[in-house]
Amino acid sequence: MRRVFVNEEWCLGCHLCEYHCANANMGGVTAQDMVRNLRGKKIHPRIRVEDGADGGKINFAVQCRHCYDPMCVKSCIAGALTVEDGVVTHNPDKCVGCFTCVLTCPYGCVMPDGDGKVVQKCELCLRNKVGAPACAEHCPNRAIVYEERGTL
Amino acid sequence: MEQGKIYLSPEHEVVRDNDKCIRCQVCERQCANKVHSYDADIDKMLACDENCVNCQRCVSLCPTHALKIRRCENRFRENNNWNETKIRELYLQANSGGVMLGAMGTPLDYPTYWDHMLINASQVTNPSIDPLREPMETRTFLGKKNQKPERDANGKIITKFKSPQIELDVPVMFSAMSYGSISYNAHESLARAATELGTCYNTGEGGLHEDFYKYGPNTIVQVASGRFGVHGDYLMAGAAIEIKMGQGAKPGIGGHLPGRKVGPDVSRTRMIPEGSDAISPAPHHDIYSIEDLRQLVYSLKEATAYTKPVIVKISAVHNVAAIASGIARSGADIIAIDGFKGGTGAAPSRIRDNVGIPIEVALAAVDARLREEGIRDNVSVVIGGSIHSSSDVVKAIALGADAVYIGTASLLALGCHLCRSCHLNKCNWGIATQEPDLVKRLNPDWGYKRLVNLVSAWKHEIMEMMGGMGINSIEALRGNHLMLRGVGLNEKELELLGIKHAGENI
Amino acid sequence: MAKKFVIIGNSAAAVGAVEGLRAVDKDWEIVIISDEPYHTYGRPLISYLLFGKTDEERIKFRPDEFYSANGVTAMLGCTVTQIDAAAKTVSWSKDDYTGSLQYDKLLVSTGSVPFVPPMNGLETVPLKTPFMKLDDAKFLQEHVKADTRVFIIGAGLIGLKCAEGISKLTKNITVCDLAPRILPSILEDELAKIMQNWIEQNGVKFMLGDTADKFDGNKAVMKSGAVVEFDVLVLAVGVRPNVALIKDAGGDVNKGIVTDQFCRTSLKDVYAAGDCTESFDITSEQAKILALLPNAYAQGYAAGRNAAGLEDKPYDSAMPMNAIGFWGKHILSAGSYIGEKHEVFGDDGSYRLICRDAGLLKGFILIGGNDIHDHSVLDRAGIYTNLIKDKTPLDTVDFESIKDRASLKGFAADARKKKLAGVER
């Protein structure tokens, strides 16, 4: 299965991935969609860039790793988190916003959504209109890649 | 000596469509010149136009296409004699007392002869060749050729070259650009691309970083007037050694890498103290004649046990043909000629814009002279300095070149937007800089692929054009002036180029 | 003939066991026996059901096809009456029917039962319920109307979640607890007060340090002498592990059912998982009742996998871990609050406690601020949880950079690389 991998050596800390993520998960695809979706709003991306590691030199983006043994799925009290063809998927309709997954995700990649009433997480853009991870597609330096890296 | 201040309006202005701007601040994070900033109080992005070099980094990365950079519309009073640039530069010099510096090739509107030459094609009486169906050889060898056929003891013709050669799968090499003037990642991109393409890149005067010795078979190592980074292993590492006598963008003068670009890695590679300016003298202080040059050529051959071809690189100047004739007799295997439109990381603008001659006429003159003197096979001829496309490559070979160097074109492939600010060390594309946070903007994993793409595309086009002419090897095209016709050129130009005008028959 | 895995219970541990076993085996026959007549549902969701955040369809813990897709025979509404470990059978009853089942491996995941201390006159109260099961929620749905006075005994997690659940049905809710503070088993005084104020702002009245002494119909006389009149009584004093079946069968029982690291009880081929068991808390290094859904699921998953004969995955990472929230203010906590404390009271009503001891992160409490749309204090809490669980030495992590905001940048470069670019997970 293809997954998103982040190579911090090439991350520029530009934060473009966050904006493309936010746009994609608000149903947007194009630059015009981004204007309509994000202008004048605080964004709630599912990928987040951490700046300034190792004395400020290193930046990197983090989003759901789609674990083979996902703690969030195993601890979800509502059955709202499931694994669909390897993709850790969230059903906001079933989610009650207890945040147990926020408590258990080792990467800190399941997070309250913009309203704070349910959680959200990366689903590799497979269920939005972009269809493949927007972060990887728009990363200007191939720091974020969407690829197969062998099996365990 | 600064004498007061004079107001100059910014050269460029940042135009931001506030209806499109989403305040993502990507422009701010990506501009090393600190043009953009976010003002939280008014929730707006601001721009400091005077810092902008129009490198287009912000424009390229803006996710909503809210940005464009425009030439500042404020102009001095219209004057075709004293134009904007001339006045501006005069003011700057009056202010600073300094030499005007520029980077990359001249931006001035000199004629480009490539664009006044047209290529032939076969019709009816001679068949064209379809390169997809029939063999088409783009491989070529650079170096001294055997003077006449010889046979071995069994009477078989000896096909082996007696002199060392560079073997190229495609007659396009990457020009000399030093580690120091360009970044580690740019060098890695060039080295990996050259290896994959079966061609060569060139260290320039910066020495060879220890990580890149593994690309040695596709590396040309340069020896220039500063002799930076030159030692035995270095000379042995490459496919050939290039003695740099001159550079097209700055004929007659040396080079200067500012100390701020000499970090630990550059210092180790160049074998100079960290932070010290690397100054290459204008002449080689041991070369004042062809005889002196011959000594260096043979010193280098001696040092490498006659296993490496030696290139002598000169800039195209007025008496280039005579100089080339001397070089061909000096023992050098290859002559590289750099036209006056060639690029540079930094050069005095006056020199870049006013010294030298166009590469097209230089090439034609050198080729003609060497043929006249019967020494053309003593050397291969490589030219550079404004090769823009595959058709320029084909025209250069037809005009007499064995191969070409591309510098600016290769940097464009790596993302360069020709802002001509290399000398500022703030290259927003991670190419002409040594700042670690900027260097990492060029990921060689894709940088080298773009170079491979570019040259592979050119190779396809070269094969198409050669096939059209009914020619199936570089050897058969080389010096084939009949394959070229001039358009819009006067008699003298046609004579110098050695080509007929369009419409003339053989 | 296929071997048979019988699971008593139908909640998180049982579902975990099914998924754990099916992850390694397709052949075993699986039977689930549960006294509740419902498709598996998320137990903690009953308060959300009352609150309107879920409904009887969405409350299902797994999709409708869960049993059939996993080859599970679900005997719902059947009460197990006895385990005969020697004969490897369980006896069950449903209405007037009784029967018994042979098993090869048995999992006891019977959960917990409400604990009701003796109170005089309790039998005279007409409308009373515990708050444990879907039926309890349905009872409240039926009986709590706009003007209904609800009296909840117990200001622990169950009592307060019940209060929140019915707060849209009635504004007349009183909660009492013998302890002087709310959430006595979870929070210290100061933090309990923060939460109490918050819950009071949402319309709940508290009577703390006091409890009902005796009942007379719809009237409770408190220990303090105060009298509380109510329409519906909720008994949420506490719960006890449901150990009866194992105890009767002769298995080792402490506070909860005693299991080893493979979730085996002292009875041969009998496993136990979930709230009915004792777990070994790796942070305090003590056996504890950890009545938590993630723990139940993990135990069940390990039991199912081990029951299939692998016994290769010990379950050895149990620890206290709570994600609770009331009216949008959330508490995330894990581990034990021992050792050196880093404590921050935020101006926004938030709170942060990080505890480390002997070079390890041991526990934390994060309480969200008063803006219920801003959960920044809780952000990425799982990074802390996993530092505790993995027993990551803090000298390999830049603790200063993560103590006020969880992130991965405090990890060493190679650890980050493994997390973000590696395939080992």
Give the residue from C275, C248, C271, C244 showing the smallest Cα distance to C260.
C271
The tokens of A94 are what? 């079933």
Give the count of Cβ contacts less than 8 A between chain A and B: 62
User: What's the CATH code of the domain at B465?
Assistant: 3.20.20.70
Q: Which amino acid is at B1?
A: M
Q: Three-class SS of residue C274?
A: coil
Contact C324 A53 (CB under 8 A): no
* Average of per-residue pLDDT across C370-397: 94
| pTM, to two decimals | 0.92
Same-domain pairing of B242 and B380 = yes
Give the count of Cβ contacts less than 8 A between chain A and C: 154
Q: Per residue, what are the HEC states of B221-252?
A: EEECCCCCCCCHHHHHHCCEEEEECCCCCCCC
CB of C273 within 8 A of CB of C263? yes
The predicted pLDDT at position A151 comes to 57
Does B221 fall in a domain?
yes
Same-domain pairing of A7 and A54 = yes
- Chain-centre distance of CA C365, in angstroms? 17
Tell me the pLDDT band of B110, cut-offs 50, 70 and 90. very high
Percent of chain B with pLDDT over 70: 99
Does B277 fall in a domain?
yes
- Nearest chain A Cα to B28, which residue? A14
The predicted pLDDT at position C3 comes to 92
From chain C residues 269-288, the ones with a CB under 8 A of any chain A CB are none
CB of B318 within 8 A of CB of B281? no
* Average of per-residue pLDDT across B282-286: 93
Does B1 fall in a domain?
no
- Nearest chain B Cα to A43, which residue? B24
CB of B163 within 8 A of CB of B378? no
> Is pLDDT of C230 > 80?
yes
User: Dihedral, CA atoms, A38, A41, A46, A48, nearest 10 degrees?
Assistant: 100
Cα-based distances in Å from B212 to B187, B202, B263, C326: 9, 12, 18, 61
Same-domain pairing of B436 and B359 = yes
* Residue pLDDT, tens place only, B22-38: 999 999 999 999 999 99
> Is pLDDT of C424 > 60?
no
Same-domain pairing of A32 and A18 = yes
Tell me the pLDDT band of A152, cut-offs 50, 70 and 90. very low
From chain A residues 101-130, the ones with a CB under 8 A of any chain C CB are 101-112, 114-117
Mutate: best of B18, B26, B442, partner A, most A CBs <10 A: B26
Same-domain pairing of A25 and A58 = yes
The predicted pLDDT at position A89 comes to 97
> Is pLDDT of B377 > 70?
yes
CB of B429 within 8 A of CB of B55? yes
CB of C51 within 8 A of CB of C40? no
Same-domain pairing of B222 and B349 = yes
- Closest CB to B24: pick one of A12, A15, A57: A15
Alpha-carbon gap, residue C219 to C230, rounded angstroms = 6
Same-domain pairing of A117 and A141 = no
Contact B441 A12 (CB under 8 A): yes
Chain C CB within 8 Å of residue A68 CB: yes
Does B49 fall in a domain?
yes
The tokens of B135 are what? 């063999």
Contact B24 A35 (CB under 8 A): no
* Average of per-residue pLDDT across B200-210: 95
Does B496 fall in a domain?
no
The predicted pLDDT at position C134 comes to 96
Alpha-carbon gap, residue B243 to B221, rounded angstroms = 9
- Nearest chain B Cα to A18, which residue? B24
Contact C373 A115 (CB under 8 A): yes
* Average of per-residue pLDDT across B126-148: 94
Same-domain pairing of B94 and B222 = no
Question: What domain range is B439 assigned to?
Answer: 116-146+167-477
* Residue pLDDT, tens place only, A23-53: 999 999 999 999 999 999 999 999 999 998 8
Cα-based distances in Å from A5 to A18, A29, B127, C275, C379: 15, 22, 53, 38, 22
Alpha-carbon gap, residue C108 to C269, rounded angstroms = 11
CB of C11 within 8 A of CB of C74? no
CB of C308 within 8 A of CB of C25? yes
Chain B CB within 8 Å of residue A15 CB: yes
Q: Which chains touch B (3 or more CB pairs under 8 A)?
A: A
Same-domain pairing of B256 and B286 = yes
Mutate: best of A103, A113, A119, partner C, most C CBs <10 A: A103
Segment holding C247, helix H or strand E? helix C244-249
Q: Three-class SS of residue C62?
A: coil
Give the residue from C319, C304, C342, C425 showing the smallest Cα distance to C17.
C304
* Residue pLDDT, tens place only, B66-90: 999 999 989 899 999 999 999 999 9
Does B346 fall in a domain?
yes
CB of C302 within 8 A of CB of C315? yes
* Residue pLDDT, tens place only, A116-126: 899 999 999 99
Alpha-carbon gap, residue B464 to B462, rounded angstroms = 5
Mutate: best of C315, C408, C419, partner A, most A CBs <10 A: C408
Same-domain pairing of B217 and B350 = yes
Q: Which residues of A touch B440 (CB under 8 A)?
A: 9-10, 12, 141
Same-domain pairing of A32 and A101 = no
Q: What is the CA radius of gyration of chain B?
A: 24
From chain C residues 159-218, the ones with a CB under 8 A of any chain A CB are none
B51-87 exposure pattern, b = at least 16 Cβ within 10 A, e = fewer: bbbbbbbbbebbbbebbebeebeeeeeeeeeeeeeee
Question: Parallel, antiparallel, or unpaired for β B347-348 and C219-222?
Answer: unpaired
Contact B445 A142 (CB under 8 A): yes
- Nearest chain C Cα to A109, which residue? C380
Chain C CB within 8 Å of residue A94 CB: yes
Q: Is C180 exposed, middle or buried (0-12, 13-18, 19+ CB in 10 A)?
A: exposed
Count up the domains in chain A and report the number.
2
Alpha-carbon gap, residue B215 to B238, rounded angstroms = 8
User: What's the CATH code of the domain at B74?
Assistant: 3.30.70.20
Between B260 and C278, residue with greater pLDDT = C278
The predicted pLDDT at position C311 comes to 72
Sign (positive/negative) of CA torsion B401, B407, B408, B409? positive
Alpha-carbon gap, residue B384 to B248, rounded angstroms = 8
The predicted pLDDT at position A54 comes to 81
Question: What domain range is A4 assigned to?
Answer: 1-63+123-152
Tell me the pLDDT band of C385, cut-offs 50, 70 and 90. very high
* Residue pLDDT, tens place only, C72-121: 999 999 999 999 999 999 999 999 999 999 999 999 999 999 998 889 99
Contact A16 B21 (CB under 8 A): no
> Is pLDDT of C232 > 90?
yes
* Residue pLDDT, tens place only, C237-286: 999 999 999 999 999 999 999 999 899 999 999 999 999 999 999 988 99
Chain A CB within 8 Å of residue C296 CB: no
Give the residue from A117, A126, A136 showing the smallest Cα distance to A47.
A136
> Is pLDDT of A150 > 80?
no
Tell me the pLDDT band of B506, cut-offs 50, 70 and 90. confident
Percent of chain C with pLDDT over 90: 87
User: What's the CATH code of the domain at A88?
Assistant: 3.30.70.20
Same-domain pairing of B54 and B127 = no
- Chain-centre distance of CA C295, in angstroms? 8
Same-domain pairing of B241 and B290 = yes
Does B176 fall in a domain?
yes
Alpha-carbon gap, residue C47 to C156, rounded angstroms = 14
Same-domain pairing of A144 and A75 = no
User: What's the CATH code of the domain at A147?
Assistant: 3.30.70
pLDDT, averaged across chain C: 94
* Residue pLDDT, tens place only, C58-86: 999 999 999 999 999 999 999 999 999 99
CB of A121 within 8 A of CB of A72? yes
Tell me the pLDDT band of B4, cut-offs 50, 70 and 90. low
- Spatial neighbors of C302 by CB under 8 A, at least 6 apart, are C16, C20, C262, C263, C273, C313, C314, C315
8-state DSSP, C124: G
Same-domain pairing of A20 and A59 = yes
- Number of residues that this document lists for chain A: 152
Count up the domains in chain B and report the number.
2
Contact A78 C61 (CB under 8 A): yes
Same-domain pairing of B120 and B82 = no
Contact B441 A141 (CB under 8 A): yes
Alpha-carbon gap, residue B283 to B98, rounded angstroms = 23
Tell me the pLDDT band of B471, cut-offs 50, 70 and 90. very high
Alpha-carbon gap, residue B426 to B439, rounded angstroms = 10
